[in-house]
Structure 1
Amino acid sequence: MRAALTAALAWQDYRADTWLSACSVLALVAVIAPLLVLFGLKFGLVSSLTERLEKDPAVREIIPLGGGRFSAAFIAELRQRPDVAFALPRTRQIAATAELARGEGDVGLTVEMLPTAPTDPLLGPLPALQGMNGVVLSRTAAEKLGVRPGDWLQASFGRQVAGRSEVQRTRVQVEGVLPLEAFARDALLAPLELLEAAEDYRDGRAVLAMGWAGGAPTQAGQRVYPAFRLYARSLDDVEPLRRYFAERGLLVSTQAQTIAQVQSLSRNLSIVFWIIAALALAGAFAAIFAGALAAVERKRRELSVLRLLGFSTAALLLFVVFQALYSASLAAVLSGVLYGLAQAGLNHLFMQVPGEYASHLLPAHYGLALLATLGVSSLAAALGGWRVSRIEACEGIRDV
């Protein structure tokens, strides 16, 4: 009850000193608003860069270099690692090509073939392929062939045998088209079985599943792959995976350096922000501390009268703290409004990609800024207003 009365009296006195109160609010706004803008730029810039990297599957891809010899069991073991989002064997690159055409006599387009399966990061929201004849085309290949999802194509696989050319064909259905940013070359994503069939046919082996004649078919479990498609689960998993392969003498290509640059930028910007924030908060603390000292001296008569009326030292100190909290609360609200206007202007000027922000803050950041402002103001006012303990009730009696 006494605290509520103290808060009410402090508010009435705060309103009476309109100009002094306004000056204290504006002094805090001059500190808080620039800090919000600075942190908003830091958080928005780093978040946008990080989100852009996370959306690009190529950044999380681990590409083996040189000719390797990987068994299906080894790649299945990689797939079980918690830091691996997707792993699938790849056939020899020279054998992983196909010529696509809309029909007999149409001009064909030679595309590279990539194995795919459910959870493939390149597929994104596209559904998993159904059956051995379902394929996904890159945007450039689909545009050159003039096809859309649902259309059928003829895929041809050629080989040279004893100096003569031979070709086998199969029908495939386009079940999806990749966005251009996902894959910029002419490509066909197909089940691994189709790539293995093309490789076996070009090696002169029979492909029983397709009805293609040849030599002895490849036995289950005996196939050796020269490479694989592998994607880390997150950006932080890329470097550990690179080290994992390096420890086993496997040379791989990653985007670890690009990821490290963004993470380093985030750390450096955080250091700069906290240095500036510490200096600004120290200045605000000093200003509030000095303001509390001045307020106690300026209102010494009024505070002594309150002492005479039975207010304790704690209540008088609370009186000073409440007034500092009023200034801090109003300053926080005004700073939030000013930051909102600055954020809208900055995003309008510098936003390059829809959905990304040059400046951005989360609700939690506003809450943290409010708590920090109230905390610093309370502490500074409490320390600066401690001189109320020296005010005696007799001072109020002498002034009556």
Structure 2
Amino acid sequence: MRALRLALADLRREPAFTLCSVLALAAVIAPLILLAGLRAGVIAGLKEDLAASPRAREIVNTTNRALDDAWFTSLRARPDVGFLVARTRLLAATGSLESRANPGAAIRVEVLPTGPGDPLLPGLPPPAEGQAVLTASAAQRLAVAPGDPLRFRVVRTVGSAREVLGMDLTVAAIAPPAAGARDAIFADPAMGRRVQDFTDDRAADAGPRTAEGFRLHARRLEDVPTLVAALREQNIETASRAEDVAALLALDRNLNAAVAVIAAVGGAGFILGLAAALWASVERKRRTLSLLRLMGMRRLTLVMIPVWQSLAFALLGTAAGAAIAQGAAMLVNRLSLLGAADGRALARIGLVEIGAAAALSALAAILAAAVAARRAAAVDPAEGLRDA
């Protein structure tokens, strides 16, 4: 602690040198913090745009495939899978739906399987047997609300005869608009299988069955490209937002690389400048340092004086740079051309950005102090004796 007290006292004795060193670091660190805040704001904004739609993590098969239970068990065990449910052949589970209160005004709907944790139905329990969750479009066209009775029908032709499969349903809930714009109902997977079996004239106990498709949601946005690639290796073609997510991840990597390069260049300049300033400070105080050595001060104490001074510069410079960067970020976020019009901050400077800047500046300060510390350690007590 003795070295720290001496270092701070020396900085107070030379306010001009202290101020110039702090401002020099602030001039380097402020643009870096602002650039990191811009990167965080841009990436966070793009992620929010994607995450706002639950379909951003959705992956659907575009061709029918025979998929058995073992395949679903294997895929469901992957850590990047957030939701998976088997579905019928594409467009096979469709029928007419009408309100029991207004018979005759039927609409064509698709039966979509659902289950616990369906991302398209956040906060809604999965419908039980005899229940259905309607998309907002279907509910509006039928003018129904939760609890209202429905009638679902599928018609098939066998020879010259027409056969009808009818089901009485109850509106369990109305899906949020983000669940889809088309007319559809979410129901227990068994309902979709029953509709397909009726359409195909297949007996319910006609041996082992397979699913022709699936509804799949990745656990995170970053998992979408990985899952699409894994399915492509199995020759399963899909439709997803994988390209958008991949572009976002590439932009994040590029911005990180740009920030790292600029930080390296700026840090190198700061290290050289501060190292030269500390070296010059030690040279100016050689006689004082030698007298301190002559009076019995340990070499380690002398070595730590420029180190503590350098760390003080780093702390004060980071604080000043963060204040400047925050002011610049507020100005950037007020410019309507840069995104303030939609209420979203383009530059987001938080504790992560400031903490990273403080850590890097402290490391740079220690490296800059190494040369001056070595010079201080080489001070000969005899110099003080000659000047006594």
Query: 1:271 is paired with a residue of what secondary structure?
Result: helix
Alignment-derived partner of residue 257 in structure 1: 243
Partner of 2:281: 295
Change in 2 beyond 3 A, CA 1:264/1:90: same
CA distance in 1, matches of 2:285, 2:3: 15
Aligned counterpart for 1:135 among listed residues 132, 140, 145: 132
Aligned to 1:231: 217
TM-score scaled to structure 2, two decimals?
A: 0.86
Q: Report the counterpart of residue 188 of structure 1 in structure 2.
A: 185
Q: Which runs of 4+ in 1 moved over 6 A?
A: none
The residue that corresponds to 2:142 in the other structure is 145
1-structure distance, mates of 2:85, 2:384: 86
What is the distance in 2 between the residues matched to 1:180 and 1:353?
21
Ranges in structure 1 where 5+ consecutive residues have no aligned partner: 206-216
Q: Which residue of 2 aligns with 1:79?
A: 76
CA distance in 2, matches of 1:358, 1:171: 51
The corresponding residue for 1:110 is 108
Quote the Cα distance in structure 2 between the aligned partners of 1:119 and 1:229: 12
Measured against aligned partners, the alpha-carbon deviations of 1:263-321 in whole angstroms (never above 9, x if no partner) come to 22122112211111100000000111011022123333433332343223332222222
Counterparts of 1:105 and 1:376, CA distance in 2? 77
User: Which is further off, 320-329 or 69-78?
Assistant: 69-78
The answer to whether the 8 A contact 2:91-2:110 is kept is no
- Look up the match of 2:120: 122
CA deviations on 1:350-395 (whole Å, 9 max, x unpaired) are 26777x7533355344333222212211221231343234544455
SS at match of 1:173: strand
Conserved? CA contact 2:282–2:375, under 8 Å: yes
Q: Give me the whole-angstrom Cα distance separating, in 1, the residues matched to 2:3 and 2:210.
A: 82
Which whole-Å CA distance do the structure 2 matches of 1:165 and 1:351 have between them? Answer: 61
1:312 and 2:298 matched? yes
Does the 8 A contact of 1:89 with 1:225 survive in 2? yes
Match of 2:313 in 1: 327
Classify the secondary structure of the residue corresponding to 1:172. Answer: strand
Distance 1:89 1:7, change over 3 A: closer
The one-letter amino acid paired with 2:9 is Q
Using the size of structure 1 for normalisation, the TM-score is 0.83
Does residue 197 of structure 2 align to residue 200 of structure 1? yes
The CA distance in 2 between the partners of 1:11 and 1:157, in whole Å, is 85
Counterpart code for 2:103: G
Whether 2:276 is the aligned partner of 1:286: answer: no
Alignment gaps of 5+ in structure 2: none
2:49 paired with 1:62? no
Aligned to 2:347, which of 347, 359, 362? 359
Kept in 1: contact 2:135–2:174 (CA 8 A): yes
Q: Aligned pair in 2 of structure 1 residues 323, 105: CA closer, same or farther (>3 Å)?
A: same
Residues 291, 150 of structure 1: alpha-carbon distance in 2 compared, 3 angstrom cutoff: farther
Q: CA deviation at 1:118?
A: 1.4
User: In structure 1, what is the equivalent of residue 21 of structure 2?
Assistant: 24
What is the aligned length? 384
**Residue equivalent to 2:260:** 274
Partner AA of 1:41 in structure 2:
L
The 3 A distance-change label for structure 1 pair 230 and 27 is same
Local SS of the residue matching 1:104? coil
- Give yes or no for contact 1:72–1:89 (8 Å, CA) kept in 2: no
Q: 2:369 aligns with which of 364, 378, 381?
A: 381
